[in-house]
Amino acid sequence: MNKVASAVELRFDVKHTRALTEEVRDRLILHSGKKLNSEGVLVIQARRFRSQERNRQDAIERLVRLVQKAALPQKPRRRTKPTRASGERRLESKKRRSSTKQHRRRGQMPSE
């Protein structure tokens, strides 16, 4: 347990920064999750290490990783068709399920 006051809290005002483009800023807001407060300030708390200097470096590294992740544009999703085999498997499982339910209605046990 870290008993010394060596924790670091890094604050970065994402909403009002001019260091990032608007696209990167929007993606950073999406990636930040709970780390972003209602005023648009990104708060990173670092307390993993015993040294305050190491916690400071850790917080900065985490901020840099978040910004780098936000800087990469998301790859567009390519729509794909399900394979014929997967479609057949799906239909087969639906038939088995239907058969099970049919047998329940008649009060019989399903035959496999």
Structural domains of the chain, count: 2
**What are 93-107's pLDDT values in tens digits?**
999 999 999 888 866
**What are 32-82's pLDDT values in tens digits?**
888 888 888 889 999 888 888 999 999 999 999 998 988 888 889 999 999
In the predicted structure, residue 4 carries a pLDDT above the cut 70: no
Does residue 2 form part of some domain?
Answer: no
Does residue 17 form part of some domain?
Answer: yes
Does residue 3 form part of some domain?
Answer: no
Q: How would you label 30-63 residue by residue, b for 16+ Cβ within 10 Å and e otherwise? A: eebeebbeeeeebebebeebeeeeebeebbeebb
Does residue 1 form part of some domain?
Answer: no
Q: Are residues 62 and 35 in the same domain?
A: yes
Q: Are residues 60 and 91 in the same domain?
A: no
Q: Are residues 63 and 88 in the same domain?
A: no
Task: Note down the domain range covering 98.
Answer: 82-112
Of 2-11, 46-55, 80-89, the least confident: 2-11
Q: Are residues 23 and 54 in the same domain?
A: yes
How do 8-13 and 41-46 pair as beta strands? antiparallel
Q: Which CATH number goes with the domain that contains 47?
A: 3.30.160.20
The whole model's pTM is what?
A: 0.61
Q: Are residues 67 and 105 in the same domain?
A: no
Q: Are residues 20 and 65 in the same domain?
A: yes
Does residue 55 form part of some domain?
Answer: yes
